[in-house]
Chain A
Amino acid sequence: MKKKTKKPIAKKITRNGKRVLLERLVQQQSDELKVKNGQLRNGVEKQARSEEQIHIRTKAMESTADGIFIIDAQNQDFPIIYTNQSFQKMTGFAKSEILGRNYFLLYGVGVDPRIVSEIKHTMRKGKSFHGEMLNFQKSGKKYWNLLRIAPVRDSRGAITHYVGIQTDVTLMREKEIEIDEQREELLHVTRVGKLAEFVSSLAHEISQPLTAILSYAQAAQRMLSDREPELQKILSYIINDDQRASEVIKRLRSLLKKSIPESKPLNINALINEVVELIATDAAVRKSVIKTELDVNLPLVRGDRIQLQQVLLNLISNSFDAMENGQDSREILIRTMCKDAYTIMVAVKDSGCGIPAQNIPKLFTHFFTSKPDGLGMGLSISRSIIELHGGRLDVENNSDSGATFYFTIPVDIKDV
């Protein structure tokens, strides 16, 4: 536009005889204008490009499943100036309820105040926060929040904003809690099982002499026939008291009968994997590695899941103990295989100290233990569980180091 208005002026000057000079001037100016025009065009394009990039970034932030928010750090109220949709979904608040509001006001009353003050403290120090906490949605629904908050600084290093990302880890948490509960349940069953086995073997030990006493007394009564009425009376007292004691035992036994084991089809490999998962933490603490070599083509077995897990846990924790003092590789190898068409075998091999030959015959009897604080119940319970399942539990020392416990278990008939 400017070009056109200047041309007539140039013509007038030409008439004054200075045409050449003026034309040169005009040319110069129009070149400058061209350059500026080009620069302008470039600028517009650049801006368009950067707008596109911002658009892409915003879109990316909007479409991620993590909740993202930005806090204005220069405002004392720490208001939220941006949230993505996932954040709104996670917290249950609408965008209008969030923007301009203090971030911590969104937490709800149930949040642990210690964590909140820890986050605030970290933010004030200009550091990044990273942690997991229990949060509440607007509706009051709980969710586990993996929260990361980091400061954003300007070119001079002053904090202008905080950017936060939160991830809903409720499902993972629940899984962990479930595993913890399973472990607790197993421990409980083990404790109850130990008590039951203890009472049962106590009952057995006591019933032996009671049987003898009763029979001695009845034999004596019979030998006396109708002589010595006083002695007869004493013998009948002995018999009465013997029966009183055996009533106590009967009652104890009937208490124990309540724990009837289940009999369900089980995948022994899945069961082993569960146990390995349950004991993973213990394994790490004991600096031991648990490896498995499971035959994938095994048929199902029939039995009580908890009881069989108890046997495995017992064998594994014995292996931990056996490897306690060995410094080199602490490794437990659990293998499954088909012994024949009707029997599955499970072997638990360790690289521990092995079992002194003279202890092997006593190993599975009640109250036998080589540990200073052992009860001597674990292996005897394990053996009776396996025998109840129709299998056998036995042990052999390895040719190199450690021992291998192995048990058999019959295949579920329906699966043969």
Chain B
Amino acid sequence: MNSRGPVIYIVDDDVSVCRALSLLLKSHGFKVQTFTRAAEFLASKHPKVLSCLVLDIRLPNINGFALQEAMAKQGIFTPIIFITGHGDIPMSVKAMKAGAIDFLPKPFTEKKLLNAIAQAISKSKAQNKKQAEITKIKRRIKTLSLRELEVFRLVAKGMLSKQIAQKRGTVLQTIKVHRGRVMQKMQAKTVTELIHFAQKAGITSF
């Protein structure tokens, strides 16, 4: 299996729609996996490859919107292209607001689908890059000692070394040493970069 090529997931309760879309996308060289239920998709494996989900809105039990929510909760960042036989405007607005790539009323042409997929894949790339970076930062954070982690947080909050020293009741020199080690372990060249790392890893929020 070519592990580099993007994977297209299709969730539609109509077996024939699944099969037809699968044939079409395979003919364009994509790897395709089809599901007729949202729960099946959720239960499947989600390897960190470039991917895109072509999702029908009307599905039994868990519908397309509910799946979109569930994915966000479970941290599945695969970009979504909604497809529907009930193309109405309020629905499409709702889908787009929730971060969908596109909303295609059925039946749609090959061209429209491929355009949307191309867009989704490039978003997936950016998404994967971002995720990889976050993973990298989090891995570095794990190497920090408790004291270093605290200094990291306070620096990320915008406090100066002097203020941190005052707050901790230690001398400035100690804080400077901790801070230097944080910069080194986090592989940050500047304080600004360090703060960016903190934001990406979501550790400034407390």
Contacts and interface: CB of A to CB of B under 8 A. Distances in A.
A108 interface: no
Nearest to B109: A214
A250 to B, nearest CB: 8
Contact of B85 (A204, A214, A223): A204
Given A212-B14, A215-B23, A216-B23, A203 B85 contact: yes
A15 interface: no
A366 to B, nearest CB: 11
A10 interface: no
Contacts of B85: 203-205, 207-208, 211
B90 A208 contact: no
A204 B86 contact: yes
Interface string B7-39: 000000010110111011011100000000000
Nearest to A365: B60
Contact-residue size bin, chain A (C-beta under 8 Å from the other chain): 20 to 34
B28 A222 contact: yes
Given A212-B16, A212-B17, A242-B107, A200 B86 contact: yes
Contacts of B89: 257
A210 interface: yes
Interface in A231-269: 242-243, 246, 250, 253, 257
Given A211-B106, A212-B19, A246-B106, 11 more contacts: A204-B85, A207-B105, A208-B85, A211-B14, A211-B83, A215-B24, A218-B110, A246-B107, A250-B105, A253-B105, A257-B89
A219 interface: yes
Contacts of B110: 214-215, 218
A289 interface: no
Interface of A: 200, 203-205, 207-216, 218-219, 222-223, 242-243, 246, 250, 253, 257, 388
B41 to A, nearest CB: 19
Interface residues of B, number: 25
Given A211-B108, A216-B20, A246-B107, A388 B58 contact: no
Given A257-B88, A257-B89, A215 B20 contact: yes
B75 to A, nearest CB: 26
B86 to A, nearest CB: 5
Given A218-B24, A219-B24, A211 B107 contact: yes
A214 B23 contact: no
A242 to B, nearest CB: 7
B55 to A, nearest CB: 14
B87 interface: yes
A210 B107 contact: yes
A133 to B, nearest CB: 51
A230 B17 CA distance: 26
